[in-house]
Amino acid sequence: MKYCIKGGEIVNPAGEYSGVGDLLLDAGQVVAVGQELPVEDAVIIQAEGKMVLPGLIDMHCHLREPGREDEETIASGTRAAVKGGFTAVACMANTNPVADGAVVIEYVLSKARQNGWAKVYPIGAITKGLKGEELAEMGEMAEAGAVAFSDDGKTLTNPAVLRSALEYAALFDRPLLLHEEEPKLADAGVMHEGYWSTVLGLPGIPALAEDVMIARDLLIAEYTGGKVHFCHLSTAKGVGMLAEAKRRGLNVSGEATPHHFTLTDQALENYDTAFRVSPPLRSEEHREALRRGLQDGTIQVIATDHAPHSLEEKHREFALAPTGMIGLETAFSVAWTELVLGGWLTKEQLVEKLSVNPARLLNLPAGRLQPGDLADLIIVDPEWEWVVKPEEIASKSKNSPFIGRKLKARVETVWVNGILKYDGQKFVE
């Protein structure tokens, strides 16, 4: 199908044309981008007042399949992704069985080809079984299609294993995505250690638990020259250390999640388990540091850490409830509301962090609107005001901390490989 999107504001920081104009797509590719494009035999889509963006890319989500299809499947997770404007997602390896070999990587890719709404790029485990002891079959996984490696959900506590992993991953030009939390410092903590943990009487996790691991791993990254990406940064010192490492020329990057740059530990004052996450929501000082890190470019990526859990699991006592929250469907609107309308980022910077930079870090052919490129793009209404409602969530799980929150901007239309997947805020079946 041939489409011409006319009169929208094309926000395209990695492409050659940005500004109000037209975009023509045909046979799965962007054909032309510019002003007053001649059109023949195309479906015309009027986009005046709307924004046309390259498809968003989430480099950190959990699709739960194989193993926990009661919480999410590749079909339901990628459906949620498309609704949120993500045309591609990279899914973590902590499935059951763990994605620590080519068989599971190939399984995920096969299911995505059969049932996926968005593109799926699997991330392989760094160590077998996520046990942190023996390296997984990284070469086989890279050959099978793994775009990165991570033991996310667990920290690599053995520095020798991390060193070997960085040296080995470099052979395949793949980054390591690191979950940073020293388990002995985190101990039995269930929230950020600070004023609110004292008020609520809950055991805390100090920011030090994250900081000490980042410090160690920056030294190892410098020694090996490996490519390190820090998942879900949550501390002020962590942002500062990342900035200093980048100034010294290390091959490092980092991400922040919408919940960490929007919420603080005060959100836990009612013991609502929807706000329990790892790493924990921290104090205002840390939230401010994340926003400044996003603004000055220290933090290059916004990722969701979409982590579905059933309501039965989340309705346990606070300390026994699992950590994690969903985020694919709200990430863009939360970031737009908090960061763009809040004056922290321009719309171009937002597109860089949600599309351009994830594509570059994972070596994906995406992140811009340029003739000849795959037609992964979205139309967003920046003026649309909406309230997050559980009955409208496409994910199988509803554990969102933003339910009931009023947000601005909403994804209206989505193409993946030039195929219309979502239009008028409805799925194209």
Specify binding-site residues for substrate. 62-64, 94, 309
- Spell out the per-residue pLDDT of the chain, length 429, in tens: 899 999 999 999 999 999 999 999 999 999 999 999 988 899 999 999 999 999 999 999 999 999 999 999 999 999 999 999 999 999 999 999 999 999 999 999 999 999 999 999 999 999 999 999 999 999 999 999 999 999 999 999 999 999 999 999 999 999 999 999 999 999 999 999 999 999 999 999 999 999 999 999 999 999 999 999 999 999 999 999 999 999 999 999 999 999 999 999 999 999 999 999 999 999 999 999 999 999 999 999 999 999 999 989 999 999 999 999 999 999 999 999 999 999 999 999 999 999 999 999 999 999 999 999 999 999 999 999 999 999 999 999 999 999 999 999 999 999 999 999 999 989 998
Residues 247 and 261 in one domain: yes
Kindly state whether residues 60 and 142 are assigned to the same domain: yes
pLDDT value, residue 39: 85
Q: Which of 362, 393, 412 is the last residue of a domain?
A: 362
For 228, phi then psi, to 5°, come to -120, 135
Annotated binding site: 60, 62-64, 94, 152, 179, 232, 305, 309
Rounded to whole angstroms, the Cα distance separating 276 from 318 reads: 8
Residue 15 shares a structural domain with residue 164: no
> Longest Cα pair distance anywhere in the chain, in angstroms?
67
Backbone angles phi, psi at 411, to 5 degrees: -70, 130
Find out whether 307 and 324 touch, Cβ atoms under 8 Å.
Answer: yes
Q: Which of 22, 100, 211, 305 is catalytic?
A: 305
Residue 355, in any domain of the structure: yes
220 and 77, same structural domain? Answer: yes
Residue in the structure block whose two tokens are 């190939």: 106
pLDDT at residue 367, as a whole number: 98
Binding residues for Zn(2+): 60, 62, 152, 179, 232, 305
Give phi and psi for 182, each to the nearest 5. -70, 110
Cα–Cα dist 81/56, whole Å:
9
Judgement on whether residues 138 and 27 belong to the same structural domain of the protein? no
Tell me, yes or no, whether 367 lies in a domain. Answer: no
- Do 310 and 418 fall within a single domain? no
What is the model's pLDDT at position 38? 87
Is 220 within 8 Å of 206 (Cβ atoms)?
Answer: no
Strands 29-34 and 19-26, sheet pairing:
antiparallel
Pick the last residue of a domain from 314, 343, 362. 362
Q: With respect to residue 368, please indicate whether it lies within any of the assigned structural domains.
A: no
Q: Are residues 275 and 400 located together in one domain of the fold?
A: no
Q: Is 70 a catalytic residue?
A: no
Query: Do the domain assignments include residue 427?
Result: no
Residue 218, domain member (yes or no)? yes
Do 401 and 273 have their domain in common?
Answer: no
Residue 222 located in a structural domain: yes
Same domain as 258, residue 178: yes
Same domain, 259 and 125: yes
Say what the pLDDT of residue 309 is: 97
294 within a domain of the structure (yes/no): yes
Residue 83 domain-assigned? yes
Q: What is the CATH number of the domain that holds 398?
A: 2.30.40.10
- Please name the helix (run of DSSP H) or strand (run of DSSP E) that holds residue 107, with its range, or none: helix 102-115
pLDDT of residue 168: 96
pTM for the model stands at 0.97
Q: Residue 83 maps to which CATH number?
A: 3.20.20.140
Give the residue among 68, 71, 64, 83 at the shortest CA–CA distance from 396.
71
Tell me: do 342 and 281 sit in the same domain. yes
Residue type present at position 429? E
Is residue 278 domain-shared with residue 399, that is, in the same domain?
A: no
Q: Which residue type does 403 have? A: I
Q: Which of 331, 362, 393 corresponds to the end of one domain?
A: 362
Our count of domains for the chain comes to 2
Instruction: Name the residue range of residue 387's domain.
Output: 2-52+373-422
